[in-house]
Amino acid sequence: MTKQTVFSFSLVLIFLFHCTKTIAQTPDILKILDKPGEFTVFIRLLKSTGMSDQINGEVQKSTSGYTVFAPNDKAFSDLRSGTINSLTDLQKVQLIQFHILATGVTLSNFQTLSNPVPTQAGGIGKGEFPLNVTSSGKQVQLATGVVKATLGKTLYSDDNLIVYQVDKVLLPLDIFSGYEPTVSAPAESPPVATKVNESGAVSLILNVMWLYIGIAVNIAAFSL
């Protein structure tokens, strides 16, 4: 075997190793969300809209990374009944896109964002898809004009993709301008026991006693 052959073979091995390593390190949004076991609704929407394949494909090509805000199942259960099912296919895609930023934002970098923050859903003008971010220390809040969500734990983070949990579904103003969040019914107050007026009760008893005494005296007087 010549030196040139050995050199060429070595280059092929290096290339294959690099390709295998790249494929192995490419994040998969569905696998990331499936692991905790509490994002079944979001996963279903990602699959039905085709956004999971789009995210995975874009992440591989991106040089700036992506950020995904993932509402858990409780966040979806807090919505009014039929909220998601009433959307058109296009609106479902826009809803998912509203949870995606075309740049990787670490926890410490949220305070550097300029509001409104552009998402994959489209325009940031009034009545469209504005997303406003406020950051104080490690606490980050996201306001859509319809709901306010709080950033939770980091589900995944690398140079290509960062995934955060959020406690509410981010409802874009363009789609949900007339949406009214559910309001929990106020807890019923426990019945208040009626206080007995002790002095009044004693007075009533004495009056009854004097009444009976008066009647007895009158009866005795007539019998004499």
Name residue 104's amino acid.
G
Greatest alpha-carbon span in the chain: 151
CB 101 within 8 A of CB 66: yes
Q: What is the mean pLDDT of the chain?
A: 81
CB 134 within 8 A of CB 151: no
Per-residue pLDDT at 181: 72
Name residue 206's amino acid.
L
Query: What is the bridge-based pairing of β-strands 148-157 and 139-143?
Result: antiparallel
Tokens of 136: 């104080």
Q: Which of 109, 157, 159, 156 is nearest to 133 (CA)?
A: 109
Q: Tell me the C-alpha distance between 122 and 98, whole Å.
A: 8
Question: 136-193: per-residue pLDDT in tens?
Answer: 888 999 999 999 999 999 999 999 999 999 999 999 999 998 887 765 444 454 554 4
CB 32 within 8 A of CB 155: yes
